[in-house]
Amino acid sequence: PQLSPTEAQWLIEKTVDNFTNYFNSGFIDYRKSVTEAGDYAAVEWTGRGATFKDALGRTFIDCLGGYGLFNLGWAHPEVVRAVQTQAAKSPLPSQELLDPLRGMLAHLLAEITPGDIQYSFFVSSGTEAVEGAMKLAKLYTGKSGFIAAVRGFHGKTTGSLALTGKALYRRPPLPLHPDIYHVPYGDAEAVEMQLRIAREVGNDIAAVVMEPIQGEAGAIVPPDDFWPRLRQICDAYQVLLIADEVQTGMGRTGKMWGVEHWNVVPDIMTSAKALGGGVMPVGAFMAKPEIWQVLNENPFIHTTTTGGNPLACAAAIAAIHVSLRERVAEQAATKGEYLLAQLRKLATQYSDFFEDITGKGLLLGMHFKDDEIGYAISAGLFKRGVLISGTMNNARVIRVEPPLVITRDEIDTVLDRLDDTLRSLRVARAGERNT
Ligand code: PMP
C-alpha cells in the first residue's frame, strides 16, 4: 500500500530519530502502522545480494546480514525457486518416512561436515539445535553437566540459555538447566581445571560446548591452540565436545565451518541461521554415528512436527549447492581479510573511538571505547544507508556481518560511509568540548 504522508513521517521519526527503538520495539509499531494502512502483504521490502530497500523505499547496504542469516544475500533466486517449487508440491511433512528431502539434506550435510559427523536431526532455529545437542549428549553419556564460556551465546530457551554466558539473559528466568559451569572463552586450561574439579567433587560433565569463534560476544577469535587443546582435553576426560556453529557455519568465517580453521572434529555440531539460505528457518544438530546410536535405538525420544519440513529442506539443499558452487567460504575469507585490514586502518586513524577490530572472514567486530560511540556510529551509518548491529543492550562491540556475496564496491561504500560517520562524530565531540 501507499503509506499516507503522515504515516510515512511517523515511520521516519520512529526509525531514524529513535534509532534504538527501531530494533527494540519499533518494529511492532511498524507492523501495526502498515496493517492499518491496508494490505500488509503488499508492502515493498525487498533485497538482492547485500543491498535492500525498506518499506519506505530507502536503500541500505546490509552489514548485519540478519545476524548471520543472509550469507547468500537477500532472497537468493535459486533458493527462492527451490522453496516455491516445493511449496506447490508438498509444503509440510505428513510422515517422516515418506519424506525424501530430509534424507537428501542429511546426506549433503554428512558430505560437507568435518570428519565422521554423519547424522542430522532438523529443527527450525539455532536454540532448538542446541537443545537437541544437549539432550543427545546427556542421552549418550548418561551425564548431565556442561561446561560453556563466559559471554558465549547459544540461544534463549531454558536449556541453551543455561549455556549462554550472560547474566542479563540468564537471570530473569532462573532456575535453568542445572550443572552448567562457565569458564573464560579461549582458555583451554580453564576448561581442564573445571573438568578436574568436577571429577574431584563428583559432578558429571556430559560435554563442553563452545562457539568456534564467539559471535554475539563480538567476533572473538580464540588463540590458535584453543580448539586443538579442547579436543585433547575432552578426549582425556572422556567428555563430548560440542561446536555451536549456528553463527559461524555455512562459510561465514572463511571456511565452511568454523572448526575447520583448526582441523578439529567435534563430536556434536549445530547449525542454523544461514543453513536455510536466508529464505527458510532451518537448524540441525549433527553427530558421529556411535553417538547417534542412542537416537537410532529409540527414534521417538526426540521428535518435532515441523522441524526439517520439505520447504526447510528444499531451502537448505539449495543453499548448500549455491554455497559450494559460488565458493562463498572463499569469498568470505578474501573479502573478510580486505575489510578487516581497512577497518584496522580506520581504527588507527580514529584511535580515540576504537579499542580493537576482531574477527575472521566476514564475522568481524568493531570494539569501541564506550557504548555511546557505538550507538552514535550505528545510528550515523543507518542514516547513511548502512545497516549494522549494535543496538539493544550493548553497542560497545558492533558486529559487521554482511552477506558473503557483498561486492567489493559495496564494501568500499560502507568504508567511505563509516569514515564519514567517524569524521562527523569527531567534529560533534570537539564541538561539545568547546561549548
Ligand atoms: N548459537 C549461536 C552461536 C548463535 O549465534 C545463536 C543466535 N545468535 C543461537 C545459537 C540461537 O539461534 P536462534 O536465534 O536461531 O535461536
pLDDT at 85 over 60: yes
Q: Which three cell numbers stand for residue 397?
A: 562491540
Q: How remote is the CA of residue 155 from the centroid of ligand 1, in Å?
A: 5
Q: Which atom of ligand 1 is nearest to the CA of 247?
A: 5
> What are the CA-CA distances from residue 21 to residues 13, 39, 389, 392, 393 (Å)?
10, 24, 13, 9, 12
> Which of 169, 253, 273 to probe ligand 1 with, by most ligand atoms within 8 A of CB?
273
Band of residue 432 on the pLDDT scale cut at 50, 70, 90: confident
- In contact, 177 and 361? CB cutoff 8 Å: no
Q: How does the average pLDDT of the chain come out, rounded?
A: 90
Q: pLDDT at residue 215 above 90?
A: yes
**Closest C-alpha to 360, from 224, 228, 267:** 224
**Domains, in order of start, for the chain:** 44-72+328-434 (3.90.1150.10), 77-325 (3.40.640.10)
Residues whose CB is less than 8 angstroms from the CB of residue 323 and which lie 6 or more positions away in sequence, other chains included: 71, 72, 250, 251, 256, 329
Mean pLDDT of all residues in 140-145: 97
Residue 336: predicted pLDDT: 98
CA 84 to chain centre: 25
Pocket of ligand 1 (CB under 6 A): 67, 125-127, 130, 153-155, 211, 215-216, 244, 246-247, 272
Q: How far is the CA of 164 from the centre of ligand 1 (A)?
A: 10
Give the ipTM of the model, two decimals please: 0.99
Q: Which pLDDT score is estimated for 55? A: 73
Residue 195 has pLDDT above 70, yes or no: yes
Q: What is the mean pLDDT of residues 90-103?
A: 86
Binned at pLDDT 50, 70 and 90, residue 21 comes out as: very low
Give the mean model confidence (pLDDT) for residues 283-291: 98
pLDDT digits (tens, 9 = 90+) for 114-142: 999 999 999 999 999 999 999 999 999 99
